[in-house]
Amino acid sequence: MSRNFAQLIRCSYCNFNKYIPRENNDPMMTECLQRETETLLQLSQVSCITSVFFGGGTPSLAHPSTIAAVLESVSRRAYLSDKAEVTLEVNPTPVGKSKLEDYCRAGVNRFSIGVQSLQDGDLKILGRDHSPHQALQTVEEARRLCPGRVSVDVMFGRPKQSAESWENELSELLRVCDDHVSLYQLTLERGTQLFKQVLGGEVTMPAEDVTAEMYQCARRTLHQHGFLQYEVSNFARHKAVSHHNTSYWKGRQYIGVGPGAHGRFVPRGEGGVVREARTQTLEPDVWIREVQQRGHGTRRRIQLSHLELLEEVLVMGMRMSKGINHKHWELFSPQLGLHEVFGTSNDIQELLQSGQLILDDRGLRCSWDGLALLDSILPALLVMLERQISQRLQRDHHADGQTKRISNPQ
Amino acid sequence: HFHSVGIAILPELTSLYFDCHSNLPAFLLFAFKDTIDLSKFPVDRIRNFCIIAHIDHGKSTLADRLLEMTGAIATTDKNKQVLDKLQVERERGITVKAQTATLIYSHQGQQYLLNLIDTPGHVDFSYEVSRSISACQGVLLIVDANQGIQAQTVANFYLAFEAQLAIIPVINKIDLKNADPERVETQIEKVFDIPREECIRISAKLGTNVDKVLQAVVDRIPAPMASTDDPFKALVFDSNFDHYRGVVANIAVFGGRVKKGDRIVSAYLGKTYEVNELGLLRPHEHPTQKLFAGQVGYIIAGMKDVKEAQIGDTLYLQEQPVEALPGFKPAKAMVFAGMYPMDQSEYQGLRSAIERLTLNDSSVTVQRDSSMALGAGWRLGFLGLLHMEVFNQRLEQEYNASVIVTAPTVPYKAVLSSPKLIKEHGSEEITIVNPAQFPDRSVVSEYLEPMVLGTILSPDTYTGKIMTLCLNRRGIQKNMVYIDDQRVMMKYLFPLNEIVVDFYDLLKSLSSGYASFDYENAGYQAADLIKMNILLNGQPVEELITIVHRGRAYSTGKAMCERLKDSIPRQMFEVAVQASIGSKVIARETIKAYRKNVLAKCYGGDITRKMKLLKKQAEGKKKMRRIGNVEVPKDAFINVLKRKDK
């Protein structure tokens, strides 16, 4: 929360992601963000950018001129349409609110607001420095500036929260929110203050059954208000889906810019043909030095194998309520269709029979009930995928050997 | 607390009398200067004795003092339990393996050879005690001046009493603030019928009156009945295996003499060996030229396998055959437990560790076993619970092997009624060690279960609670006496199965640690035994089959279902965990289906972490054991099968 913020930019094939430290007005940081953006765009050989996402932590601390400068760099190296989605994550504080207009002028056309809760006490427990009132005001201002393009983040499963209070809170939120809602369940992370408090018994977390009820209740309520669930934790009405995030789930390329940013793209600029998982250096100071020295701060590059790529496509794709359609899968796996990979296993047959999973003419997806259990379904799918791919490899290898023998009469 | 399995012992050590055992035994540094001419010690100047005591009453400390005072080891404050060589012995304050030390003591101008044969501190090891006792003519019975007579004091007393040994009661720790030697003398008079005047009050820690103990050994213990004029005849009462020299046998010479180069015969095997080396144990090996009648020492005669040095065997000279001594009954395994490597890749390592350990402890029976859940392993038989505990600890400490140990079971018997089965097994009565092999009621005329006679000593304030506990464990009271105005001694007949798991821990906790418990085997009794199955969604789980007494089926079944419920993760459907007898379900727990299991929030930066987590789950899924449609992790079996952590 306090360290950096991530900034993500995305095009028809790619998007990227930046971290900026607190002293983000530092012209040096802005310069480095611009430089890395340009270096990586060139490396990716991408020509068109369809979305940019400034996110991670508190990007609204960044000066609007930094945002403008980065967008300028993007335009310099690739085509950035006027219609491209440019999202900024905003903390609903008065400072954040006052700058919204300037961000719009800098090129932002969508806001994602971390409301988290409308309960004052809960915001304090979560360590937030805004009040419910400020949150509502920020949402209002954002809607005025970008009508129909404002998302609110809310969190459930908070300490001492009951299913009933959650339902009330959600109704209140629905009265003020725009056309996009992201739901998160609070997860306890080791090493946090909250983790210690829960461990020490000072704070109790709602039981598994209660959070399950909260999730189902939210899905029902949002549905009743015309919001369609298009992903595990994302809901939109009037087709106001996040294009940027949708491309993650569809397995498209993206470029990550800034300290600690992640990316997935093929470095065609240096003759690459395989998609790489790339991570930028986390520590801002070191990252700055690296960018100054060699134009980018890429710390880790891992080439994704065919199987690993398919695993990501599967895991991310299944998060969407529409799942993975045959065409989408074929793009990544032209030789093995969804039916061939998943149609034969007993494990998966059980999931199909119990109605949690659907495999039909459209493709592979979870049912309404199944989506809530996705993490129990995915291991079975992954086991099957690995088995089929490795069998395929062996067969090909075998066939290869035979062909050689035949083609060599000696 | 000698009976304790694990923690019950260790808390006692905090208040212990001797505390640090970290230094090298001093005797290793202190070499013998003179060669001893053993012919100077005729039979009437030899005494063979052992020390018996309840745990922590100070047996090993007294042994240290005796060794120091007779010059066997240097006098230093570093001598702590010199005879307890094993790490587990020092940590637990118990003796597992009997050791022997020969002391040279001057008394009224005469030199005496005193053979101290150290004994294990627990009835599990009573086979060791009786071996030691068979080489002795007297015992020092030590009682703590503060704690008084404890359950094991009683058990040990009877072993010595039945062997008709001279018994010297020694009241130790008189330096303690709460010492009440008077009361202990009253107890000794009442329980053992030994006049209080015969008690010697000492502080082994400070050395107070330890000289009186040495005098009493000479004065009150008879010399061994043996003559150097008889043909050579010796009893093998213990043996060790040395990788370089082969078998080292501890012997008590009952007649004649033996020297290096003699050709001797094992009465048991009829095999002949040549004596390569012999001598005294002081307590380390001290070679001598000869050993004479009445003396105790060691002998190395080219035996390659511990099985050649059968405990209880008689040795004689090739040219002078003698009638064999009575020998010992072989020790019988009474508690069985499965042992499996934590990971199957550790199988070979664990196997060799078990082999090495059983080389010096022939009382452990080893049978190969395999479980669908835990893989290949062994079913080991032990003399008792502590024996098992000690074995595990040695495996872990000395061989660095980590093992899964299943809950202990006892050997049941079945009397077969079907002539066909009798023919198949070659006998009417069969012993069942593995529950999966439990024969059906229809082919059996009766089942038998092993019984033990338990002795409980406790302050009388806890009598009510203890009686309730014993009743719940199907105990039948045989006897109850006050040993002084506050302490009561109770005897109960228990099915062994009822005390193997947590009886001792419960006894300890309900008596605030004051009650002590010991038991001896008491044969087999007919019992209403049944086979209980554990079912997951209707499918029986073979590795969880349990034999139970009909009256205990419900509580055992319920406990197992509860443990399983806690260790099987939720699935996408409801799972019924049931205990059944035949087709009748007697207990049930339900694992509710997952209602939600999906991680909210997953965007670009989170993919790598999320993938790692899911891949790990996918890997885990491959390792799960499937019972019907239920996936059961190995941990769940371990949690249900292993002994409870204490």
> Is A215 in CB contact (< 8 Å) with chain B?
yes
Averaged pLDDT of chain A: 87
**CB-defined contacts A:B, below 8 A:** 108
Check residue A16 and give its pLDDT: 34
B628 chain-A contacts, CB cut-off 8 A = none
pLDDT (0 to 100) of residue B597: 87
Give the C-alpha separation, B77 to A261, whole Å: 65
Global pTM?
0.66
What are the tokens at B442?
Answer: 């229809």
Task: Check residue B73 and give its pLDDT.
Answer: 64
- Pick the closest to residue A364 from A327, A331, A395 (CA basis): A327
- Select the more confidently predicted residue: B165 or A400: B165
Spell out which residues of chain B touch residue A371, defining contact as CB-CB under 8 Å: 598
Interchain proximity B600–A262, CB inside 8 Å = no
Looking at the complex, does the CB of residue B620 fall below 8 Å from at least one CB of chain A?
yes
Return d(Cα A182, Cα B641) in angstroms, integer.
45
Percent of chain B with pLDDT over 70: 85
Nearest by Cα to A151 from A205, A227, A254 = A227
Q: Of the candidates A56, A233, A373, which has its C-beta nearest B597's C-beta? A: A373
Bridge partners (DSSP) listed for residue A354:
none
pLDDT at B371 over 90: no
Which residue in A has a C-alpha nearest to residue B621's C-alpha?
A: A379
Q: Answer with the residue of higher pLDDT: A188 or A364.
A: A364
- A209/B607 Cβ within 8 A: no
How many angstroms separate the CA atoms of B397 and A224, rounded? 64
Percentage of chain B surpassing pLDDT 90?
36
Strand partners, A387: none
Which chain A residues contact residue B622 at CB under 8 A? 383
d(CA B409, CA A180): 62
At residue B31, the pLDDT reads 29
User: Model confidence over B501-550: pLDDT tens digits?
Assistant: 778 878 988 988 889 888 888 899 999 999 999 999 999 988 788 899 99
Q: A340 by DSSP, 3-state: which?
A: helix
pLDDT recorded at residue B130? 65
Does residue B15 or residue B519 have the better pLDDT?
Answer: B519
Q: Which residues of B touch A321 (CB under 8 A)?
A: none
Residue B26 has pLDDT above 60, yes or no: no
Which residues touch B323 (CB under 8 Å, ≥6 apart)? none
Interface membership of B243 toward A (CB under 8 Å): no
Token pair, residue B473, equals 């464990």
- pLDDT tens digits for range B426-438: 899 998 877 888 8
Question: Which region holds residue A73: left if phi is over 0, alpha if psi is between -120 and 50, else beta?
Answer: alpha
pLDDT in tens, B150-167: 988 888 888 888 888 999
Task: Please report which confidence band the pLDDT of residue B201 belongs to, taking 50, 70 and 90 as the band edges.
Answer: very high
Query: Average pLDDT for residues B480-501, to the nearest whole number?
Result: 91
**What gap in Å lies between CA B588 and CA A384, rounded to an integer?**
34
Judged by CB atoms closer than 8 Å, whether chains meet at B594 and A373 is answered as yes
Pairs from B159-162 (Cβ < 8 Å, separation ≥ 24)? B159/B52, B159/B126, B159/B129, B159/B130, B159/B133, B160/B52, B160/B133, B161/B192
- pLDDT of amino acid B32: 35
Helix (H) or strand (E) holding B106, with range, is: strand B100-107
Q: How far, in Å, CA of B457 to CA of B151, rounded? A: 6
Between B333 and B52, whose confidence is greater? B52
Q: Is B445 on the interface with A (CB under 8 A)?
A: no
Asked whether the beta carbons of residue A212 and residue B596 sit closer than 8 angstroms, the reply is yes
Mean pLDDT value across chain B: 82
In this structure, how many other beta carbons lie within 10 angstroms of the beta carbon of residue B483? 21
Residue B182's pLDDT is 95
Q: With H, G, I as helix, E, B as strand and everything else as coil, classify residue B548.
A: strand
Question: Which is higher by pLDDT, B18 or A48?
Answer: A48
* H or E element at residue A137: helix A132-145
Contacts of B608 in chain A (CB under 8 A): 262, 277, 279
Best mutation target, B572, B590, B591, B598, to test chain A (most A CBs within 10 A)? B598
Cross-chain CB nearest to A232 (options B598, B621, B622): B598
Residue linked to tokens 């007697």: B586
The reply to whether A375 touches chain B by the CB within 8 Å rule is yes
Q: What is the pLDDT of residue A400?
A: 60
Residue-wise pLDDT for B96-155, tens only, equals: 455 678 888 888 888 899 988 766 545 455 555 666 677 789 999 999 999 999 988 888
Burial B365-377 (b: 16+ CB within 10 A, else e): bbeebebebbeeb
For the record, the structure tokens of B460 come out as 């009388």
What residues form DSSP beta bridges with A25? none
Question: What's at B435, amino acid-wise?
Answer: P
Decide if A73 contacts A16 (C-beta within 8 A): no
Average pLDDT over residues B20-49: 56
Which segments of B are annotated as binding site for GTP? 53-60, 118-122, 172-175
Q: Which of B570, B596, B597 to mutate to test the interface with A (most CBs of A within 10 A)?
A: B596
Measured CA to CA in angstroms, residue B214 lies from B114, B132, B221 at distances of: 9, 19, 10
| Per-residue confidence (pLDDT) for residue A174, from 0 to 100 | 94
From the list B572, B617, B622, which residue is nearest A356 (CB)?
A: B572
pLDDT at B75: 60
B181-190 per-position pLDDT tens digit = 999 999 999 9
Is B4 in contact with B91 (CB distance < 8 Å)?
no
> pLDDT tens for residues A255-285?
999 888 889 999 999 999 999 999 999 888 8
List CB contacts (< 8 A) between A183 and chain B: 600
CB contact under 8 A, A316 and B602: yes
CA angle A100, A153, A176 (to 5 degrees): 70
**Looking at the partner chain, which of A245, A316, A383 has a beta carbon nearest the beta carbon of B618?**
A383
Instruction: Give the residue, B645 or B638, on which the prediction is more confident.
Output: B638
Among A213, A373, A383, beta carbon nearest to B598: A373
| Rg over CA atoms, chain B | 28
Which of B573, B574, B595, B608 to mutate to test binding with chain A, by most A CBs within 10 Å of its CB? B595
Read off the pLDDT of residues B312-367 as tens digits, 9 standing for 90 and up. 789 999 999 988 877 665 667 778 888 888 788 889 988 988 888 877 676 788 88
Q: What ipTM goes with this model?
A: 0.85
Q: CB A184 to CB B617 under 8 A?
A: no
**Looking at the complex, does the CB of residue B598 fall below 8 Å from at least one CB of chain A?**
yes
Q: Pick from A212, A315, A350: which is nearest to B595 by CB? A: A212
pLDDT recorded at residue B391? 84
Which pLDDT band holds residue B375 (cuts at 50, 70, 90)? confident
Give the tens place of pLDDT for each residue, B244-274: 888 889 898 999 999 999 999 998 888 999 9
pLDDT at residue A60 tops 70? no
Angle, helices A132-145 vs A163-176, to 10°: value is: 30
Which residues on B lie below 8 Å from A248 (Cβ)? 602-604, 607
A residues 272-311 closer than 8 Å to B (CB): 277, 279, 308, 311
Q: Label residue B462 by pLDDT band (50, 70, 90).
A: very high
Asked if B321 is an interface residue toward chain A (Cβ–Cβ < 8 A), one would say no
Please return the burial class of A218, using the count of CB atoms within 10 Å of its CB with bins 0-12, 13-18 and 19+: buried
Neighbours of B472 (CB within 10 A): 13
Q: Is the pLDDT confidence value at B198 over 50?
A: yes
Report the gap between the CA of B607 and the closest CA in chain A (Å): 8
A68 interfacial to chain B (CB closer than 8 Å): no
